[in-house]
Chains A and B, each alone.
Chain A
Amino acid sequence: MAKIGVFICHCGENIAAKVDCTKLAAAMGEHPGVAVSVEYKYFCSDPGQESVKKAIRDNNLTGIVIAACSPRMHEATFRKACAEAGLNPYLCEIANIREQCSWVHTDSDMATEKAMDITRSMIEKVKRNNKLQPIEVPVTRRALVIGGGIAGLQAALDIANAGQEVVLVEREPSLGGHMAQLSETFPTLDCSQCIMTPRMVETAQHPNIRLLTYAEVESVDGYIGNFKVRIRMKSRYVDTHKCTGCGDCMTKCPVKKISSEFDCGLGKRTAIYTPFAQSVPNIPIIDTASCIYFKNGKCKMCQKSCQINAIDFEMQDEFIDLEIGAIVVATGFQIQNTAMYGEYGYGKFPDVITGLQFERLATASGPTAGKILRPSDGKEPENVVFIQCAGSRDPSKGVRYCSKICCMYTAKHAMLYAHKAHGGKTNIFYMDIRAAGKGYDEFTRRAIEEDEASYIRGRVSKVWQENGKLMVRGVDTLLGRPVTVAADMVVLATAMVPQPNAKEFAKIIGIAYDEYGFYNEAHLKLRPVESSTAGVFLAGACQSPKDIPDSVAQASASASKVLALFSKEKLEREPVIAINNEATCAGCWGCVLACPYNAIEKKDICDRSGRLIKQVAYVNPGLCQGCGTCVTFCRSNSLDLAGFTEKQIFAEVMGL
């Protein structure tokens, strides 16, 4: 038999001024199953809570209803009070008679009547509440960080430095990502490599980090705290244990004219190569598409030159299976191919280059050793035109969003060019200068004021070649007239776009992505580093275009989320999850489709001899977030949602 306690809070005058609490308490006292019905000025106060606890103990209450403010205010408070009084905290319901009653109605009688209905229906609900226990999920304390750019490195190091194990997977032969390609970084103009390479080395040498380069995530199963991840180790054809990184093989390799990806096509590399000199690990791979041996079975120059016999042409891909507790996705971005702007002449005129190519030209370790030289003739340009938003903020040809970093790096490029080519002129076509960030606006002002970058507000309509010059036709919207600039080099501030396989990869991990392929955060403001899947966190530009400080900040935030998850052996979750009645489940799998979290699996029901009788739905408590969409779908009424069960809702309505 139910023994329900009803506690009606005056909330000072907030409730009592409109709702006749005495009448309410008396009426609720007459409700079937109510053992105690009392009113008080402030139940959330210490004495108020004490009186609730005392009433629970004295009357052996089986459930309580607090008629007070919104559950969003004090549900947690009163659940805790229940627990302290020895009553399961989930046997507490809140009747919201303040925000949704006393504060919003003018007629006292009608407000009182409504308060009665609200309280009654909660009494009926709480009678059917079940004792729930927080769900405990064991946690494997090992993080997987996917991506070895600055975000991945930061996340890996933060987690590792806190004493937890990390597996870092990078699909390229070396760590570094895009940041390793950059020259100086805004707004401080410190050398990218100088800050990046030590982090790469630190990562590789960290006792808590297992580094897997030239490796890809093949599959992810399981759920928060308990992921099972399979990694494909792509074959390098170089034994990583033997190789000392001496580089003899690369010197001997006869194929030397392969366009270097790392240098964005501005430099050359060999068929056996490391992407760049400071690669970590400093172990080459063989590019089988270019290697003579792989093409016609002859050559083997590298093998012959290797004194420790590290070259193995027979090497196969290997798979590593890992148990993982949390995943940080830091898969980065790509720059958009600008070929859709035929009018800019990218790909047609060699001296029309992308911002990233400009970075390679400007960096001391780049193909020109830091000299800004034209790809066409190797001469130093005297006049450079920068075109901003070459793809971003262009719904018709490019992408709708702002790539966020281009205003800053274009200003930086102008400065670097000014510093390196004295007397060189820069013209920058822009839509807006977006320089929000610490020291950012000062930085762009410096480019304009000290390094004489000439900003022209307007779009470029055409670039063509004339007398050895690149003629750039645009419009100066501030002056309201067309302009034509004769340039030696044109630099396009291309858009940042998701990795080309971002959507497929999201499906492997089971996270949500937006229309472009950037990964969705669970909540843009309140849960910006969590993905839609519990236990998977986001860092860096895979979530949206970001600069280095933002990427690092997000990586550290993700790391702290991972560490919080790893702070206990078991993970506690709200027990509001779906449960299935296996006896009645018809196995139609509509729920599997409807579930936003992939939390529903197929479970075999076998007889004693192991013969499969049927398959039913099983809700994984680690993944279920408790929305109840599956419950509503279920035609046979087999699924139910703890905390909001069919019985509870039925009683709530019928109790009104």
Chain B
Amino acid sequence: MSEQQFEPNIIAFVCTYCTYAGADLAGTSRLKYAPNVRIVRLPCTGRISPMFILKALQKGADGVLVSGCHPGDCHFTHGNYHARRRWMVFRSLLEFTGISPERVKYSWISAAEGSKFADLINSVTEDIRKLGPFDQYQQMIKDAQSPATL
């Protein structure tokens, strides 16, 4: 069965100081998690533009994950507070235009939360797997004859 199960493509945008470090910690702790996520490292969640999310979807991602430092922990003092507002707005916009919030997820993961990172990747992968491929978006890309697919 496992050979037939759908393997979702997920692209994650993370800040280098917290979530990327948390992902490294998951590695040094030898935790195991699903191999479906590709990470793009940014200095801060403040740098993560909504455009990145759209481009990840264009690239054929079935899901997108955005993650950074917990509120109050930002290395740049308040990049993540700005990011949080943007996410609130952008998420609501995507929802209104028909992109399920289940496809684009957000999280806070600190440099210490290696196990949270591993758990999150597993649960997000599982959630997106249940949702199945993002056919609607991919159909739109196909209709546009845009060749970008993972």
A and B: direct contact (Cβ < 8 Å)? yes
B1-15 contacts to A, CB under 8 A, are: 7, 11
A218 to chain B, nearest CB (A): 26
**Given A99-B27, A632-B48, residue A104 in contact with residue B43 (CB < 8 A):** no
Contact B35 A110 (CB under 8 A): yes
Interface 9-residue window, one of B74-82, B96-104, B127-135, B136-144: B74-82
Contact A596 B23 (CB under 8 A): no
Please classify how large the interface on chain B is, using the bins under 10, 10 to 19, 20 to 34, 35 or more.
35 or more
Q: At the interface, yes or no: B93 with Cβ under 8 Å from chain A?
A: no
Q: How far is the CB of A243 from chain B (nearest CB, A)?
A: 46
Q: Which of B29-81 contact A (CB under 8 A)?
A: 30-33, 35, 38-44, 46-49, 52, 55-56, 59, 75-79
Residue from A70, A576, A643 whose CB has the most chain B CB atoms within 10 Å: A70
A103 to B55, CA, bound (A): 28
Q: Within the complex, which residue of B21, B26, B47 is in contact with A72, where a contact is CB–CB below 8 Å?
A: B21
Q: A104-B30, A110-B35, A656-B59 are in contact. Are A627 and B46 (CB under 8 A)?
A: yes
Find out whether the CB atom of B47 lies under 8 angstroms from the CB atom of A644.
yes
Residue of A nearest to B15 (CB): A627
B35 and A111 contacting across the interface, CB-CB below 8 Å:
yes
Once the chains bind, are B35 and A107 in contact (CB under 8 Å)? yes
Q: Is B24 on the interface with A (CB-CB < 8 A)?
A: yes
* Nearest opposing residue in chain A for B39, CB measure: A100
B86: A residues at CB distance < 8 A: 632
Q: Does A650 make an interface contact (CB < 8 A)?
A: yes
**A189 CB within 8 Å of chain B:** no
CB of B145 within 8 Å of the partner chain: no
B47 and A632 within 8 A (CB): yes
Q: Residue B94 at the A interface, CB < 8 A?
A: no
CB distance from B77 to the nearest CB of A (A): 5
Q: Of residues 573 to 623 in A, which have CB atoms within 8 Å of B's CB atoms? A: 576, 594, 596-597
- The contact of B49 among A98, A576, A631, A652, by CB within 8 Å, is A631
Q: Kindly provide the distance from the CB of A362 to the nearest chain B CB, expressed in whole angstroms.
A: 41
Contact A117 B38 (CB under 8 A): yes
- Chain B residues with Cβ below 8 Å from A532 are 77
Q: A106 at the A/B interface (Cβ < 8 Å)?
A: yes
| Interface membership of A181, Cβ < 8 A | no
- CB 8 Å contact bits of A98-137 with B (1 = contact, 0 = none): 1111011111001101100110010000000000000000
Query: A629 interface residue, CB < 8 Å from B?
Result: yes
Interface contacts beyond A72-B24, A100-B39: sample of 11 additional A-B pairs, CB < 8 Å, sorted by A: A70-B24, A70-B27, A101-B35, A104-B35, A121-B38, A523-B75, A628-B42, A629-B47, A654-B148, A656-B11, A656-B38
Q: Check B59–A654 contact: CB distance below 8 A.
A: yes
CB distance from B36 to the nearest CB of A (A): 8
On B, residues with C-beta under 8 Å from A are 7, 11, 16, 20-21, 23-24, 26-28, 30-33, 35, 38-44, 46-49, 52, 55-56, 59, 75-79, 82-83, 86, 118, 148, 150
Instruction: Tell me the smallest distance from the CB of B31 to a CB of chain A, in Å.
Output: 6
CB of B60, distance to nearest CB on chain A (Å): 9
Set of chain A residues within 8 Å of B150, measured between Cβ atoms? 656
Write the chain B residue with the least CB distance to A125.
Answer: B40
Contact A105-B35, Cβ < 8 Å, known A99-B28, A641-B47, A653-B56? yes
Q: Do the beta carbons of B42 and A649 come within 8 Å of each other?
A: yes
Tell me the bound Cα distance from A121 to B86 in angstroms. Answer: 26
How far apart are the CA atoms of A143 and B11 in the complex, in Å? Answer: 48
With contacts A627-B47, A629-B79, A631-B49 taken as known, whether A653 is within 8 angstroms of B59 at the C-beta atoms is yes
Q: Contacts A114-B35, A653-B59 hold; do A632 and B27 have CB atoms under 8 A apart?
A: no
A512 at the interface (CB under 8 A from B): yes
Task: For A629, list chain B residues within 8 Å (CB).
Answer: 44, 46-47, 76, 78-79, 82-83
A104 to B27, CA, bound (A): 6
Most A C-beta atoms less than 10 A away, residue of B26, B30, B49, B56: B49
Q: A225 near B: Cβ within 8 Å?
A: no
| A99, A110, A520, A652 interface centre (most CB from chain B within 10 Å) | A99
- Identify which of A104, A118, A597, A628 contacts B47 (C-beta below 8 A): A628
Instruction: Give the residues in chain A near B39, CB-CB below 8 Å.
Output: 96, 100, 118
19 residue pairs bridging A and B, Cβ less than 8 Å apart: A72-B20, A72-B24, A99-B23, A103-B30, A104-B26, A104-B30, A106-B32, A114-B38, A118-B38, A520-B77, A596-B79, A627-B47, A629-B78, A629-B82, A643-B43, A653-B55, A654-B59, A656-B59, A656-B150
Question: Given known contacts A627-B46, A632-B46, is B40 in contact with A104 (CB within 8 Å)?
Answer: no
Closest B residue to A102 by beta carbon equals B27
Q: Report the separation of the CA atoms of residues A100 and B82 in the bound assembly, to the nearest whole angstrom.
A: 27
Q: Say whether A654 contacts B30, CB under 8 Å.
A: no
Determine which of A111, A627, A633 lies in contact with B44 in the assembled complex, contact meaning CB atoms within 8 Å: A627
Which chain B positions have C-beta within 8 A of A103? 27-28, 30
Residues of the B chain whose Cβ atoms lie less than 8 Å from the Cβ of A512: 77
Contact indicator A100/B47 (Cβ below 8 Å): no
Q: Are B27 and A594 in contact (CB under 8 A)?
A: no
Q: Would you call B27 and A644 a contact (CB within 8 A)?
A: no
B53 to A, closest residue via Cβ = A653
B144 CB, nearest partner CB in chain A, Å: 15
Q: Is A625 an interface position by the 8 A CB rule?
A: yes
Whether a CB of chain B sits under 8 angstroms from the CB of A332 is no
Q: Which residue of chain B has its CB nearest to the CB of A634?
A: B49
Q: In whole angstroms, what is the CA distance A218 to B42 when docked?
A: 38
Residues of A within 8 A of B28 (CB): 99, 103
A121 to B13, CA, bound (A): 13
Note all chain A residues with C-beta closer than 8 A to B78. 596, 629
- CB of B44 within 8 A of CB of A628, answer yes
Q: Which 8 A-B pairs have the closest CB atoms?
A: A99-B27, A628-B47, A629-B46, A627-B76, A627-B44, A103-B27, A110-B35, A99-B24
Q: What residues on A are CB-neighbors of B20 within 8 Å?
A: 70, 72
For A625, the chain B residues whose CB sits under 8 A away are 76
- On chain A, the residues within 8 Å of B52 by CB distance are 649, 653
| A148 contacts partner chain B, Cβ-Cβ < 8 Å | no
Q: Mark A358-383, 1 if CB is under 8 A from B, else 0.
A: 00000000000000000000000000
Q: What chain B residues lie within 8 Å of A597 (beta carbons)?
A: 76
